[in-house]
């Protein structure tokens, strides 16, 4: 199985400040077509997860442009350029390149300082 | 984007079979370029992929479930379902159904349904 390791596991950020979450995979996520099938999800308190980014850096329709993704191979990063109150929740990375199984990171909890 | 809604019993006895249904709207489950997945989340914990149906009926499952899961499509009702047999308390979780392209696998999520395994 591909192990997805996120860091940090929790993050406390002041409003308007940037935040970054790292996601590392135990194998390269580059598929034969050259894409890395790495998704980022946000789960707000009491809600279902919502996809923010796919293929590591493509933003989902309707997602604010303060969210961006980067990386390839085994190292990926989710960056929030300026944290807002509505960004509180847990963030997960997920790989869909090598399956079964599809695997998720442990999650990173974001709170406002 | 497709809309998904889970339904099924909220309480299942140990050793019995957990059965859930996902109703899909704003999209057809017969499309060959989509995966229809089940994912669960133990209370306060992370996300575990159970399995998916893809390519109009092929299936793939998480090996950790040791063959206990079955996912099937009902194209006439635009629904897909999950059966998980021989359940124990460890199967207590919020169960989500999801849909996504065959490349990215998981995009849209249902609201989730809590299933408790208890006698």
Per-residue model confidence as pLDDT tens digits over A86-101: 999 999 999 999 999 9
- CA A98, A102, A106, A109 torsion-angle sign: positive
Of the listed ranges A13-27, A59-73, A80-94, B37-51, the least confidently predicted one is B37-51
* Residue B73 Cα, gap to closest chain A Cα (Å): 19
What pLDDT, on the 0 to 100 scale, is given for residue B1? 83
What pLDDT, on the 0 to 100 scale, is given for residue B103? 87
What pLDDT, on the 0 to 100 scale, is given for residue B31? 85
Bridge-based pairing state of the strands B18-25 and B69-74: unpaired
- Which one, of A34, A2, A6, A13, lies nearest residue A106 by Cα? A6
For residue B49, give the nearest of A103, A105, A107 by CB distance.
A103
Read off the pLDDT of each residue in A50-74 and give the average, rounded to a whole number: 97
- Which chain B residue's Cα is nearest to A90? B46
* Integer Cα distance of B104 and A54 in angstroms: 7
* Integer Cα distance of A77 and A36 in angstroms: 13
Subunit contact B105:A107, Cβ cutoff 8 A? no
Read off the pLDDT of each residue in B77-94 and give the average, rounded to a whole number: 97
């Amino acid at each position: 199985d591909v192990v997805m390791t996120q860091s940090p596991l929790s993050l406390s950020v002041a409003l308007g400040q940037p935040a970054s979450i790292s996601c590392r995979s135990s194998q390269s996520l580059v598929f034969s077509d050259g894409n890395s099938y790495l998704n980022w999800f946000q789960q707000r308190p009491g809600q279902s997860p919502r996809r923010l980014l796919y293929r590591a850096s493509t933003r989902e329709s309707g997602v604010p442009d303060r969210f961006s993704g980067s990386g390839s191979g085994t190292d990926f990063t989710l960056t929030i350029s300026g944290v807002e109150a509505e960004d509180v929740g847990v963030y997960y990375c997920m790989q869909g390149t090598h399956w079964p199984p599809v695997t998720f990171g442990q999650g990173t909890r974001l709170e406002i300082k | 984007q497709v809309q998904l809604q889970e339904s099924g019993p909220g309480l299942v006895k140990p050793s019995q079979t957990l059965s859930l249904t996902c109703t899909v709207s704003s999209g057809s489950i017969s499309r060959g370029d989509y995966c229809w997945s089940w994912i669960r989340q133990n209370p306060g914990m992370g996300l575990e992929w159970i399995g998916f149906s893809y390519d109009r009926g092929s299936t793939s499952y998480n090996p950790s479930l040791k063959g206990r899961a079955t996912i099937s499509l009902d194209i006439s009702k635009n629904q897909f379902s999950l059966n998980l047999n021989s359940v124990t308390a460890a199967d207590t979780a919020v169960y989500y159904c999801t849909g996504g392209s065959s490349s990215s696998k998981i995009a849209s999520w249902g609201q989730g349904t809590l299933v408790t395994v208890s006698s």
